[in-house]
Structure 1
Amino acid sequence: MKFGNDLRIKTVTSWFPPDRESVEDAVAAGKLETQDVDRLGLTGLPVSARWSGPEMAVAAGRDAISRAGWSPSDVGLVMHTWIYHQGHDMWSPPHFVANEVGAPHALSYGVQQGCNAAALALQLAALHLDAEPGLGAALITSGDRFAPPGMDRWTSDYGLGFGDAGTAALLHRADSRVDSGAGSGDDYALLSLATETEAELELMMRHGDDFSAAPLSHNDYIDLRRPKKSYVEAYGKEKFTSIASRSIRKVVVDAVHDAGLRLDDPRIKYIALPRLGAYLLDANYVPVLDDVLKAEALRFGADTGHLGCGDFLANLADLRDRTPLQPGDVALVIGGGAAWTWACAVVQVPERRIPEEPGPEQGPEGGV
């Protein structure tokens, strides 16, 4: 999907809880096998002892609005994403996020597409902004707390550890009523975003299990390994690997093409990889990307682990804060969501950009 250069990511933020669990502590506690340490490639995971996923999303959203220097009333759309329990049953976390960031009248809804939901929310928000010129800005958030007993952040899935965080991005049109104005600048122009879906792979997440009447009926905690193992025994690993490789290649090629660029364009400096374990990245992503792109592949997840829907937006924040991108430079962000959809976004640093100093770290209640 081609957006041109007037669709702007005003700013993007990540919010992490202060507590952490190191790999060494996880091994000592018997939560992680020693032989799995190198396959994960992690130093530790952020762990929320207090804040829920929606509360961390609110913290990130407030930070984004503050960085932008906007009023919360400028936000006309709130799209919240998550993959795990949000703290209440039969409840709407998107409306909580909208109200708590100060935009209670914004259209609010959730986007559920596995760990790829934030990318899909960016795409949907772009369509809203095209269709509704008076909308103002869209706030996209993610928030998850992978706490026991429902999750085991070290072993609920193969090849990754789950970290707690909230993320947020503000999306707007450069000619909207919340235009940047002189001297303020945007983090990125969102040039394109391509997606590819292979819905037949939904079977991976439930293979061998009947449909149940209530959550956690199949196991005491969410164990994604069991159905995946059952699926691989029935269909083989090569089927998924082949589909994943083809889909990853396609979203990269399509996104670069839609952005009006060549794959070897020297302005493309980096591609940010999802925050999966080292083994998964080396097996599924790196061989394809090395064949397609000359850009440097970046891994930002060693100290955060997989953030669920948060990977995509956290990677945009780290590209801004941890790389030497200059005005005119281009970067790609790639992600995937189980059962399965892949996405790739192409962003460019606008020619007019003044970095903003982040405010003091705040908790979800606004206290330092």
Structure 2
Amino acid sequence: MKFGNNLRIKTATSWLPPDCETVEDAVAAGKLAASDVERLGLTQLPVSSGWSGPEMAVAAARDAISRAGWSPSKVGLVLHTWIYHQGHDMWSPPHYVANEVGTPDALSYAVQQGCNGGAMALQVAAMHLAADPGLGAALITTGDRFLPPGFDRWACDYGLGFGDAGSAVLLHHNDHHDDSEGDAGPDDYALVSMATETAAELELMLRHGDDFSPTPLWHNEYIDLRRPKKSYMAVHGKEKFSQIASRSIRNVIVDSVHDAGLRLDDPRIKYIALPRLGTGLLDGIYMPVLNEVLKAEALWFGAVTGHMGCGDFLANLADLRDQMPLEPGDFALVISGGAAWTWACAVVQVPERGV
């Protein structure tokens, strides 16, 4: 899906709570096996002692709007995404986010696609803006808090730890004739293209061996993704998932780069930012594909955040801007994946000055 140079990411932000739990503390408390430390690659996980997922999303959104120098009234669309409990049952977090950031009239709804939700919400927002030039701007937010007893951030899944955080992105049309909201200032990126690929037959991995339940946490006292995955692998083996994942990761990289009008070896593609999974998972699934098809340097920002659920993708855009030496005209890729399963890859470019 090609967007060209006119669709801009004004800014991207992430918000982390001040408290954290170190790997050493987790091992000492019996929450994490010492044998798992190396393949996680983590030093700590951020832990919210009071902020809910939507509240952290609002904090990130307010930072984004402030950084952009915008009035909230410029935002006509709010998309919020998450993977775990948002603090209330039968409730709409997107409307909460919209109201709290000062955009109560904006169209607000949820985008749910597991940990790929941040990437998918960005693509949906881009399609809204492409279809409706009068929309103004879109705000995309994520927010999750992974607390017991329903969630074990260190043992819920294989090869990753979950960190509490919020993230946000502001997306808009580039318009050189409108500087009333600070648009004459630089955008972080042009959103040049995105590609996605889905393998819906893999949804079985997250429920294998279990009947449909009448209430949450029916099968286990906390969300345990290891148990159905282990059951699935015992029947179908690991090779099927590995083959599908490798093919899909390759396809979204190749397709997004092609849609951007670039070659895979274009020297202007400096980096590809990876999901904040454990380093063992990345080495086993992502890196063999990247080493085959791409010359860009792979980046992993997860050592102090862990996996932020669907927040990885948006937070990677912020960390890419703040931590890496990208020049005007340079390109970067940001890749994402969500269980059951969809993969996505975006090509972004640092705009040339005055463009």
CA distance in 1, matches of 2:257, 2:186: 24
Once the two structures are TM-superposed, the CA of residue 176 in structure 1 deviates from its matched residue by 8.4
Contact 2:330 2:350 in 1 (8 A): yes
State yes or no: 1:117 paired with 2:117.
yes
CA distance in 1, matches of 2:111, 2:177: 26
CA distance in 2, matches of 1:352, 1:26: 47
Amino acid at match of 1:313: L
Once the two structures are TM-superposed, the CA of residue 159 in structure 1 deviates from its matched residue by 0.2
Contact 1:13 1:169 in 2 (8 A): yes
Contact 1:187 1:353 in 2 (8 A): no
Deviates more, 1:124-133 or 1:217-226: 124-133
Aligned pair in 2 of structure 1 residues 265, 157: CA closer, same or farther (>3 Å)?
Answer: same
SS in 1 for 2:246: helix
1:339-363 CA-to-partner distances (Å, cap 9, x unmatched) read 0000000000001289xxxxxxxxx
Once the two structures are TM-superposed, the CA of residue 175 in structure 1 deviates from its matched residue by 2.5
Once the two structures are TM-superposed, the CA of residue 326 in structure 1 deviates from its matched residue by 0.5
1:318-344 CA-to-partner distances (Å, cap 9, x unmatched) read 000000001000000001000000000
CA RMSD of aligned residues (A): 1.3
Number of residue-to-residue matches in the alignment: 354
TM-score, normalised by the number of residues in structure 2: 0.98
Deviates more, 1:178-187 or 1:105-114: 178-187
State yes or no: 1:264 paired with 2:265.
yes
1:114-140 CA-to-partner distances (Å, cap 9, x unmatched) read 000111111111111111111100000
CA distance in 2, matches of 1:188, 1:126: 13
Contact 1:274 1:335 in 2 (8 A): yes
**What residue is the counterpart of 1:362 in the other structure?**
none
Contact 2:20 2:44 in 1 (8 A): yes
**What residue is the counterpart of 1:163 in the other structure?**
163
Unaligned runs of 5+ in 1: 355-368
**What residue is the counterpart of 1:343 in the other structure?**
344
Aligned pair in 2 of structure 1 residues 23, 203: CA closer, same or farther (>3 Å)?
Answer: same
Aligned pair in 2 of structure 1 residues 177, 116: CA closer, same or farther (>3 Å)?
Answer: farther
1:156-185 CA-to-partner distances (Å, cap 9, x unmatched) read 000000000000000001038866757511
Once the two structures are TM-superposed, the CA of residue 41 in structure 1 deviates from its matched residue by 0.5
Aligned pair in 2 of structure 1 residues 159, 212: CA closer, same or farther (>3 Å)?
Answer: same
SS in 1 for 2:309: coil
SS in 2 for 1:134: helix
State yes or no: 1:102 paired with 2:102.
yes
Q: Percent identity?
A: 78
**What residue is the counterpart of 2:154 in the other structure?**
154
Unaligned runs of 5+ in 2: none
**What residue is the counterpart of 1:16 in the other structure?**
16
TM-score, normalised by the number of residues in structure 1: 0.95
Once the two structures are TM-superposed, the CA of residue 88 in structure 1 deviates from its matched residue by 0.2
Contact 2:176 2:184 in 1 (8 A): no
CA distance in 2, matches of 1:178, 1:75: 15
**What residue is the counterpart of 1:217 in the other structure?**
218
Amino acid at match of 1:329: D
**What residue is the counterpart of 2:204 in the other structure?**
203
CA distance in 1, matches of 2:195, 2:170: 19
Aligned pair in 2 of structure 1 residues 232, 353: CA closer, same or farther (>3 Å)?
Answer: farther
1:174-216 CA-to-partner distances (Å, cap 9, x unmatched) read 0388667575110000000000000000000000000000000
Once the two structures are TM-superposed, the CA of residue 8 in structure 1 deviates from its matched residue by 0.1
SS in 2 for 1:334: strand
1:1-368 alignment runs, 5 A limit: 1-175=1-175, 183-352=184-353
CA distance in 2, matches of 1:122, 1:311: 13
Contact 1:111 1:120 in 2 (8 A): yes
SS in 1 for 2:195: strand
Aligned pair in 2 of structure 1 residues 177, 238: CA closer, same or farther (>3 Å)?
Answer: farther
CA distance in 2, matches of 1:342, 1:170: 22
Runs of 4+ aligned residues of structure 1 deviating over 3 Å after TM superposition are 176-183
1:23-63 CA-to-partner distances (Å, cap 9, x unmatched) read 00000000000000001000000000100000000000000
